[in-house]
């Protein structure tokens, strides 16, 4: 059975399958919710140090006033980095904040290596991208999770239409949300690198 993040609602959940497809520079992956955390940990353990975390979060209403000039303008997201981490530090941060980030429907985040450039990024609706040049290494990892390869992956977004959109929600877990996580990581040196439309 394919399970979803509590912060995500899809119009046709029965159509989702665990599967992955290889593209030029990444592996795109659908994974049942309960396996995302374990895969993130296994991937992190395989990376070359030093590591960094990347987050994207919707801007607050107050911040949007500086970017959106009209009601029809697109909303924006901030891209944030926390650099120069050891694996031990990443695992400590995941232990504290992983549940909040995975439950939330709007946050996107990932972990990557400064040296190899390899990255696992969990996108909105919890589709996963693994950026790598060594596809076989990560295909072997996905085989441990019994994830089949396909040549035509069906992502959540591919099932959306104007009449049947997907929904993503801001959630609070154990009294904190992703903005609280952002605030705590900023104290550790996380910085906003840029603002993008989206």
For 131-181, what is each residue's pLDDT tens digit? Answer: 999 999 999 999 999 999 999 999 999 999 999 999 999 999 999 999 899
Within 8 A by CB and 6+ apart from 120, the residues are 39, 40, 43, 44, 110, 111, 112, 128, 129, 130, 131
Domain that holds residue 157: 8-197
State how far the Cα of 169 lies from the Cα of 131, in Å rounded to an integer: 26
Residue 191 lies in a domain: yes
Residue 74 lies in a domain: yes
Supply the pLDDT for residue 171: 93
Residue 2 lies in a domain: no
Supply the pLDDT for residue 72: 66
Residue 162 lies in a domain: yes
Residue 69 lies in a domain: yes
Residue 3 lies in a domain: no
Residue 118 lies in a domain: yes
Q: Work out how many domains the chain is built from and give that number.
A: 1
94 CA to centre of own chain: 13
Residues pairing with 3 in the sheet: none
Residues 126/5, Cβ–Cβ less than 8 Å: yes
């Amino acid at each position: 059975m394919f399970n979803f993040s509590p912060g995500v609602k899809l119009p046709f959940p029965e159509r989702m399958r665990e599967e992955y497809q290889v593209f030029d520079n990444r592996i795109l992956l659908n994974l049942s919710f309960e396996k995302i955390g374990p895969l993130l940990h296994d991937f992190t353990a395989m990376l070359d140090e030093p590591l960094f975390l990347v987050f994207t979060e919707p801007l607050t209403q107050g911040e949007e006033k500086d970017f959106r000039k009209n009601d029809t303008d697109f909303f924006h997201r901030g891209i944030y980095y926390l650099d120069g981490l050891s694996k031990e530090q990443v695992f400590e941060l995941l232990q504290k904040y992983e549940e909040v980030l995975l439950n939330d429907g709007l946050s996107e985040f990932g972990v990557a290596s400064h040296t190899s450039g390899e990255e696992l990024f969990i996108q909105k609706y919890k589709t996963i991208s693994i950026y790598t040049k060594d596809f076989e290494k990560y295909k072997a990892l996905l085989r441990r999770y019994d994830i089949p390869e396909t040549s035509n992956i069906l992502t959540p977004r591919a099932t959306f239409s104007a009449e049947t959109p997907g929904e993503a929600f801001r959630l609070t877990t154990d009294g904190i949300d992703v903005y609280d996580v952002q605030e705590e990581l900023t104290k550790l040196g996380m910085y906003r690198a840029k603002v993008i439309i989206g």
